[in-house]
Amino acid sequence: MTEPPQIAQPYEPLPEDWERALAIVAHPDDVEFGASAAIARWTGQGKKIVYTLATSGEAGIDGMPPEEAGPLREEEQRESARIVGVDEVEFLGFPDGVMEYGLPLRRAFARAVRQHRPEIVITGNFRDTFGGVFLNQADHIATGRAVLDAVRDAANRWVFRDLLDEGLEPWDGVRAVWAGSSPEARHAVDTTETFDLGVESLRAHAAYLAGLGEDFPEPAELLEGFGRQAGTRLGCRFASPFEVYAIRMDDLDQG
């Protein structure tokens, strides 16, 4: 007997009663594959968002040596961020492609959280796959796991005590971590009005996209497929989905 097809559950809208967010991802272009249209919506509301990138994406272009690709990809990321209203982008210098989950990564992310004091921390999908079809990258998985732990580390005075010597007091104001494009997402934000900005922000990664080859989909085509699918579940034209990890007890109803 054939099983009936599963019906995707509607997404819940993300809360927008916050003012500061920090996006922590592994590589240049990670935010742009799905979340940058949401960033544009939020900066358009006057919210302050900072990007922290673990690597410079120097191993991401097969035909270009890392010492050339890294600086170029940093510049592309800064332009991409500018398009969606983000004017602060920092690179932590971890090695692209061989990042490992561990204390150095947690410390670096905890430092960023204490420095920028966000209410929301945004990262990418760090589950094993994208919808059970495409395997995720090790850098993405290590980054997301470290982000979750770093948010708690940033709130604990007695973890990474050397950060106190830098004048970075604990920060326990993070309400939730939002993982974009997660296959387990149950929340989303309407990006209908800012979809085109999201496309332009991905196009800004011109050298990286060229390195993916002629067969790689054009940014508008690629993002439209993702955005329409999420929009259908939210009840709008385009949307960006996120998996919510609540940090504070009073935000558990977001999970």
Mean pLDDT of 108-128: 98
Mean pLDDT of 153-182: 98
Query: 225 near 177, Cβ under 8 Å?
Result: no
Whether 93 maps to a domain, the answer reads yes
What string of DSSP letters covers the chain? -PPPPPPPPPPEEPP----EEEEEESSTTTTTTTTHHHHHHHHHTT-EEEEEES---TTS-TTS-HHHHHHHHHHHHHHHHHHTT---EEE--PPTT----SHHHHHHHHHHHHHH--SEEEEE--SSEETTTEEPPHHHHHHHHHHHHHHHHHH-TTSSTHHHHTT--------EEEEET-TT--EEEE-GGGHHHHHHHHHT-HHHHHHT-TTSPPHHHHHHHHHHHHHHHHTSS-EEEEEEEE-SGGGGGG-
Q: 31-53, pLDDT tens digit by residue?
A: 999 899 999 999 999 999 999 99
Q: What is the rounded CA–CA span in Å between residue 231 and residue 10?
A: 10
Whether 50 maps to a domain, the answer reads yes
pLDDT at position 1: 44
- Residue 227 maps to which CATH number? 3.40.50.10320
Whether 69 maps to a domain, the answer reads yes
Q: 208-250, pLDDT tens digit by residue?
A: 999 999 999 999 999 999 999 999 999 999 999 999 999 976 6
The tokens for 97 are 């492609």
Boundaries of domain holding 222? 16-250
Whether 238 maps to a domain, the answer reads yes
Mean pLDDT of 91-114: 98
Whether 246 maps to a domain, the answer reads yes
* Number of domains composing the chain: 1
pLDDT at position 115: 98
Mean pLDDT of 98-112: 98
pLDDT at position 129: 95
Whether 8 maps to a domain, the answer reads no
Whether 6 maps to a domain, the answer reads no
pLDDT at position 139: 98
Least confident segment among 21-25, 155-159, 250-254: 250-254
Q: 3 pLDDT exceeds 90?
A: no
Q: 251 pLDDT exceeds 90?
A: no
Whether 178 maps to a domain, the answer reads yes
pLDDT at position 8: 81
pLDDT at position 252: 55
pTM: predicted TM-score of the whole model, two decimal places? 0.95
